[in-house]
Each structure stands twice: as C-alpha cells, then as structure tokens.
Amino acid sequence: MVWFWTLGSVALVSVLSVIGIIFLAYDRVRLQKILLFLVSFAIGGLAGDAFIHLIPQSLELNPSPSTSLLIISGMLLFFTMEKFIRWRHCHIPTSENHVHPVAVLNLIGDGIHNFIDGILIGASYLVSIPIGITTTLAVVLHEIPQEIGDFGVLVHAGFTVRKALFYNFLSALTAVAGGSLAIWIGPQVTAFSTIVLPIAAGGFIYIAGSDLIPELQQSCERLHISFLQLASILLGIALMFLFVLFE
C-alpha cells in the first residue's frame, strides 16, 4: 500500500513538469499575475504542511532538541543547494540573467531537487497515509509555479518547446527514484522518518520564506491584489489544516 501511494504521488509530481505547455497561450503579463497567485497559494501550503503536520509529527517521533537541529539542517541544506549548485526557484518565466549555461545548471539542480522531493514524499508515507498526502500536496503546490518557471527559462535560453518539455520531464523523473529509495530504505532504518521529516519541514520553511515570499515582495501591485495574495496564502494554510481531520 505504501509503495502504491508513494509511486502514484511521485508520478503526479513528475507529470507536472509538462504543465508549462498549458500556459503557452497566455501573454506574459497575464501569466505573471497568475503565477503570483500560485506562488501565494504555495507559500500557505508549504508553511502549513511544515508547521501543522511535519514539525508536530517529528516532535512526536523524537521529542528532543535534535529534532530542532534537524529542522535547521533542512533550511541549511536547501540554502546550500541554492547557493552552491546555483539552483534557484524561478517563478517568473523570463529574466535578463537566463542564459543557456544557467538553464543547463537549472536542469541539474531541478533534478536533485525533485529527487529530494521524492525522498520526502516516500518518508512521509512511511509515517502515515495522511502525512504522505499532505506532503505530496505541499510539493505539488510549489512545483506548479516552479515548473512553469523552469519551462520559461529553457525556452528563453534557446530550447525548442518540445525539447524544453522533454528535458524538464526527464529531470522530474528523479522524484520517482527518490520515492523508491525512501521506501526501500525506510523499513530497514527505523530512524529514517525521524531524520527526514524535520529536514523536510526546514526545507519547506526555507522555500516559502526565502524563495517565494520575496517574489511577492518585489511586485508592486494594487492594494486589492496584495489582499488577494494574502487570501491565497491563508487558503493554502487552511487547506493543510483541514487535512488534520483525516489524520
């Protein structure tokens, strides 16, 4: 049953890599507005999953200061990937710094990122099906704007639409490998979930706070747009809170 849920979830995450084709018909201004609301929703989903599900579950499994250190380690791990692998969550499709070498590095970094996402999803399902579902949903919420952005980066760097979708999909398939590894290791290492879940929480907090919130702060929008973005964040948090009822 755990294999079924894990592989189904990572397959869903992988399929999201081709979602960029849906938005080809949109003009750039409209696409940017849509992405900002998706980013807002993702902030709420990631923060909600971290603080409502992953951290409480981690403390239940290991109620010691080492859990807090693992949460911090998760934040530092994602910072390290972003800093030294030069991977960045680019949610707005175009940027003056998007040249071909950066697009290739983005593919490599995205593959590593998706591999870790697969591990986090698999480890969550080892704890319980509801925890796995909420983690999958949190991953999906931040994958949608990220994959649209990655698609835009590749096309802007000179890839054809077909080649951009193909390579983006290949990098997304590493989530399947990560999920399979987590399920294979999990039953043999009892402390696996105790270690991975707080690291996942730290990573989600880092993504929401360091990558996604600045995207919203940089945009100069009308007051009602800011309120709608706040409402989208609260909606993401509320959705995560509702899943507590199913645990």
At 28, is the pLDDT very low, low, confident or very high (cuts 50, 70, 90)? Answer: low
Do residues 49 and 243 make contact, with C-beta atoms less than 8 angstroms apart?
Answer: no
What is the per-residue pLDDT for 107? 75
pTM: 0.70
Least confident stretch, 74-83, 166-175, 189-198: 189-198
Q: Rounded to whole angstroms, what are the CA distances from 29 to 8, 26, 92, 94, 149?
A: 34, 8, 10, 11, 14
pLDDT > 90: percent of the chain: 12
| 75 to 137, 172, 214: CA distances (angstroms) | 20, 22, 16
Which pLDDT does position 99 carry in this prediction? Answer: 39
Segment 6-13 mean pLDDT:
90
The pLDDT value recorded for residue 65 is 92
Q: Which domain holds residue 191?
A: 2-21+28-246
Number of domains in the chain: 1
CA distance 35 to 180: 31
Q: Rounded mean pLDDT of 111-127? A: 84
pLDDT score of 104? 65
pLDDT of residue 234: 93
Q: What is the pLDDT of residues 66-116, one digit of tens each?
A: 999 999 999 998 888 777 655 444 544 444 444 345 566 667 767 777 888
152 pLDDT tier (thresholds 50, 70, 90): low
Q: What is the mean pLDDT of residues 122-150?
A: 81
Mean pLDDT of 213-220: 74
When the pLDDT of each residue in the chain is averaged and rounded to a whole number, the result is 78
The pLDDT value given to residue 84:
65
